[in-house]
Amino acid sequence: MHLIQILLPLYDNEGEPFPQDEFLRVRDALSERFGGITTYMRSPARGLWKETRDTTVHDDIVIYEVMTAELDRDWWKSYREKLTVNFRQALLIVRVSEVQLL
């Protein structure tokens, strides 16, 4: 079983919030394809990273998760590229972990 997490920014690089419709489109597409989705939207997570030695950057993000038995890497690569464009990001994180159900 695979757990896929998508980290979506709440704001663009100018600090403008993305419209709610963008997030609903992603939620609906993933729910339709994978039969369900978990969203973490109430309290945005904050991502911090060093852009340079002296500069720390942050993003407020929401996290979408889906689980699937089979991992279609080509589909996920294409979907990540689409989301990268839609959310105007240089890099958008989509990560996968293998999980065991207990």
Express each pLDDT in 59-91 by its tens digit. Answer: 688 999 999 999 999 999 999 999 999 999 988
- For 98, the 3-state DSSP assignment is strand
User: Which band of pLDDT confidence, cut at 50, 70 and 90, is reported for residue 56?
Assistant: low
Please tell me the number of Cα atoms within 13 Å of 19 on its side-chain side: 4
Q: Residue 47 above 60 pLDDT?
A: no
Q: What is the pTM of this model?
A: 0.80
Give the closest residue to 22 by CA, choosing from 35, 33, 36, 11.
Answer: 11
- Considering the chain, what percentage of its residues have pLDDT values greater than 70? 82
Report the alpha-carbon angle 94-95-100, nearest 5. Answer: 140
End-to-end CA distance of the chain: 12
